[in-house]
Amino acid sequence: MLGRSFIRRGSSWSAAVEAAARLVTPAAILKDPISLVSHEMSQLANNIGQLIGSGHPTLNRISAYYFESQGKKIRPLIVLLLSRALSEIPLEQRDRIKIDTLDIPEQPVYEGTKSLTALFAEQVKDPVGPLSPLKILHGINPNVILDPLTKPHESLPEFDSKRGILPKQRRLAEIVEMIHTASLLHDDVIDNSDSRRNRPTGNIAFNNKMAVLAGDFLLGRASVSISRLRNPEVIELLSTSIANLVEGEFMQLKNTVLQPNEDMIEDDTKEIPKPTGVIDTTIHEYSVKLPEGETITHEQNVQAAFEYYIHKTYLKTAALLSKSCRSAAILSGARDDVIENCYQFGRNVGLCFQMIDDVLDYTQTSQQLGKPGMADLKLGLATAPILFAWKENPELGKLISRKFKNPGDVEYAVEQVHKYKGLEKTKELADHHCQLALNNLRSALPESDSRSALEFLTNAIVTRSK
């Protein structure tokens, strides 16, 4: 159990990740000091490397590029810890789905008893093998010695009897990190970023085209792994989370309800083609709807902008985490109330994480962040700190509308954020979601080392510095 004395030491975000990683990392890895210093789960990166392998050397290098650097890898870490915590729920209370050896053992497998691998061998030849012949999947003649560009997937890892983490849950953690990394490759091209994790971004180290294609390749390989989980509900959740990333990015391109003209793009300088009517392209209305003749008040405008911001943040950041947490619960066989709390936990953690990111963008240097500082304002993004300032100073609406593109706009916005305590109010909002996430954990899971680790990580999010 992670004791109170350990928490009281005020460990940093990195220390929290390291402590949590100890609960999901095999003992052999713990003996490797490099893995502890980098705060990564070395086995995860190795497994992902096997999943994304390609016969093309340059595609291999750029696909693996972000996995080589020191990153938080918080998403797979949370999935693994949550999976372990879910295993503490008695099996008789995990009966929502039909139990079989591909999802969960019929009884706990302890050291010295028959391994789940042996059970697999008795019942199925290849539980996660391809559904179609390799000559169809990879376009090669199996009678010819030829290295296919798209390598076959590896089998699922063995059941972790010590930690209760199921093979499909381990694969889920790998899939989540692949999807997230693909989004980073794409985002860095979209934002024209030049550094991430104190290294050149993929678009700089290689080029834009290769970065986009590598991101597409990762999503393709992740999709194959998703399908081989052979759980329709989980497949639907993870596939939707990929679409959510794109939807959130489009919301960010438009920025706020202050730019409601859906017929214009590129800062309202370019008109898009009119729809032909062949396909229904009805748009979502994010602006405030009032009876004819009434005027939108400043308070209504700000409230709508906050709703827009929260929904965009969910789609871009929280959707993948919340749906992966829900998927971990589904794969464990947990009941509906546990599944819902796991989903809400991931949602609240994701929102909290992004809100703290939005604060750090104002307070930390580029070197501290490992990526450009003040990036949000320079990109014209209206995040929570500036929205809180706008609530007090209506004049900021003009700057938000033009995406801070006039000389002096960024500097004035920063000044107003500090004047009206936008950073402090954003931290308060993040802390609110942190507390909701902790309540979700305590409602869904019995007390355990893993739940304590998740609580520790959740609390550490609001105090992190990078």
Q: 105 or 149: whose pLDDT is higher?
A: 149
CB 179 within 8 A of CB 202: no
CATH of residue 391's domain is 1.10.600.10
Name the H helices within 191-297: 202-205, 208-227, 232-254
Residues spanned by the domain of 252: 4-276+285-461
Instruction: Report pLDDT for 86.
Output: 93
Residue 191 clears pLDDT 60, i.e. is over it: yes
List Cβ<8 Å contacts ≥24 apart for 380-384.
380/255, 380/267, 380/404, 380/405, 381/252, 381/255, 382/255, 382/256, 382/305, 382/309, 383/309, 383/358, 383/426, 384/306, 384/309, 384/355, 384/358, 384/422, 384/425, 384/426, 384/429
> Does residue 335 sit within a domain?
yes
343 within some domain:
yes
Tokens 């794969």 sit on residue: 331
Contacts of residue 26, defined as CB under 8 A and 6 or more positions apart, other chains included, come to 43
**pLDDT on residue 443:** 96
466 falls within a domain? no
- Tell if the pTM clears 0.75, that is, is over it: yes
Using CA of residue 319, residue 359, residue 23, residue 453, what is the dihedral sign? negative
Q: Is 162 a domain residue?
A: yes
pLDDT band at 37, cuts 50/70/90? very low
Q: What is the pLDDT of residue 373?
A: 61
Torsion angles phi and psi, residue 82, rounded to 5: -65, -40
Q: Is 145 within the bounds of a domain? A: yes
**196 domain-assigned:** yes
Does 45 reside within a domain?
yes
Q: pLDDT value at position 233?
A: 93
Yes or no: say if 143 and 133 are a contact pair by the CB < 8 Å rule.
no
Considering just the CA atoms, what is the radius of gyration of the chain in Å?
A: 23
Top-ranked range on mean pLDDT: pick from 35-39, 246-250, 299-303, 421-425: 421-425
- Note the pLDDT of residue 35: 32
Interhelix angle for 208-227 vs 57-68, to 10°? 80
Is the pLDDT assigned to residue 422 strictly greater than 70?
yes
Residue 252 in domain: yes
Torsion over CA: 259, 265, 270, 271 (sign): negative
Number of compact structural domains in the chain: 1
- Averaged over 202-210, what is the pLDDT? 92
Contact 335, 160 (CB under 8 A): no
**Residues shown for the chain:** 466
Residue 171 has pLDDT above 50, yes or no: yes
